Amino acid sequence: MPAFGTRHLCAVAAALALTVTAPATTAAAAPDARDSLREVMFVGNNWDGTADVIRSTGDFARIGRIDVIPDREERMAEINADPIKWIYFQAIRNSVGEGHDQFVDDMYSTPDGGSVVVSRPSFADVVSIDLATGDIDWRFPVSGYRSDHMAVSPDGTRVAVSASTSNTVHVLDIRTGEQLGSFGTGDKPHENIFTSDGKYIWNMSIGEVNTALDAPWLDWTKGNRRITVVDATTYEQVKVIDMRERLDAIGLDDRSDAVRPAVFSPDESKLYFQVSFFNGFFEYDIASDRITRTKTLPKNPATSEDRTTWVNDSRHHGISMSPDGAKLCVAGTMDDYATVVDRTTLQEGPLVPAAKPYWATVSGDGTHCVVSESGSDQVTAIDFATGEKSVSVPVGDHPQRVRLGHVAADWTGPSAG
């Protein structure tokens, strides 16, 4: 692909600088179906193989729970019959899974609120689960041996899923599971983000996170880390962004270029992103194609400085933004806190204690940041206005991704049997 000059970068930036519908991660329901649906939050309990459904505002109380591995026996029989699949299954358990199986990474509801679509890393697939019965509607095995983060298009009809070990992103019809297209990425694709108009997909690859080669001078051993931007209709590559070059340009050659969670500003002119090993985040200006600001957040003195002890090369993993773009919310994963940061001044608010917070998202009414505390099996809501904790609610074992979605207005869980 030819290198992008300033004219090309500005053209891409102009195409991407569109108003975000907040929150952008909500799977939209058809207008005539809104009255029969209820907005909720899905909390993926990775080690349990369940997803809790909680209220999207207020007290965030639990409404119901879904078994996302109803076909566990069948899947395990397939894995045990295939030596290669069995080796990868064990490798996932003993590396990225921290000794546990990874049964739910990400999830989104379908536009009609009738099903939830779930990526299951240990089973290397994506499934759609009927919310009324708990049965599987469809199953899509990803290429390779592990599925990871997903993203849903603004209209709720397409879902993109990272296939970690094959350096591929699959884009599926959320209703049928049919593959609409796919594209190649850097090593170990992770986060996916649709632009607000649904025209582009941004994928962040994080490289190898399971080696002990974690010293800054060994960063090159982690593989090809990059942001891949593709046309969401043709799945052709539009742009590649290597943050190594941008970090080096501002004298941060000791920082990892593995982009982890990220979030656009409301006008999509800037991207805020976290990288491996760093207690903080960066601001990237899309039009000028450069990192414009760096925010270093406090370290927890109780956190070991031995980088090999940090889970999957994370230090901080989880970032979201209030709908008005005024505040950022950051999950300080290995430092055991979450905090709200003023976007103008980059001044952080109170450090809210949290046990290994693994994700940050926005409540349905936009007033709170909601973080998953994977170390204490709860989710915690933090008021964007004050930076203070509002409430914590218990969920299942090792919650990670939290996503807004919809269920039927009277839904309380799948029917028995």
As averages over each run of 10 residues, the pLDDT of the chain (417 residues) reads 37 39 40 75 97 98 97 97 94 85 96 97 97 97 97 97 97 98 96 97 92 84 94 97 96 94 97 97 97 98 92 93 98 97 98 97 98 97 98 97 97 77
Torsion, CA 98, CA 148, CA 271, CA 306, rounded to 10:
20
Question: Does residue 211 form part of some domain?
Answer: yes
Instruction: Judge whether 91 and 98 are in contact, CB under 8 Å.
Output: no
Pairing of strands 352-353, 337-342: antiparallel
Output Rg (C-alpha) for the chain, integer angstroms. Answer: 20
Query: What is the C-alpha separation between 407 and 364, in angstroms, rounded?
Result: 14
Question: Does residue 347 form part of some domain?
Answer: no
Predicted TM-score (pTM) of the model is 0.89
The single-letter code of the amino acid at 286 is I
Question: Does residue 361 form part of some domain?
Answer: no
Query: What is the C-alpha separation between 404 and 364, in angstroms, rounded?
Result: 7
Place of tokens 């010293």: 215
Place of tokens 């003023």: 342
- pLDDT the model gives residue 125: 98
CATH of residue 166:
2.130.10.10
Place of tokens 């379908």: 110
DSSP reduced 3-state for 139: strand
Closest listed residue to residue 241, CA positions, set 221, 254, 224:
224
Domain hosting residue 128, numbered range: 6-12+31-313
Query: What is the C-alpha separation between 387 and 329, in angstroms, rounded?
Result: 9
Provide the domain count of the chain.
1
Q: How many CB atoms lie within 10 A of CB 134?
A: 16
Burial of 41 (0-12, 13-18, 19+ CB in 10 A): buried
Question: Does residue 397 form part of some domain?
Answer: no
> H/E element holding 92?
helix 83-94
Question: Does residue 21 form part of some domain?
Answer: no
Question: Does residue 263 form part of some domain?
Answer: yes
Reported as half-sphere exposure (CB side, CA atoms, 13 A), residue 368 has a value of 23
Question: Does residue 137 form part of some domain?
Answer: yes
What are residue 400's phi and psi, to 5 degrees? -125, -95
Question: Does residue 251 form part of some domain?
Answer: yes
The set of residues, in sequence order, having a beta carbon less than 8 Å from that of 334 and lying 6+ positions away, is 279, 300, 303, 310, 311, 314, 315, 316, 356
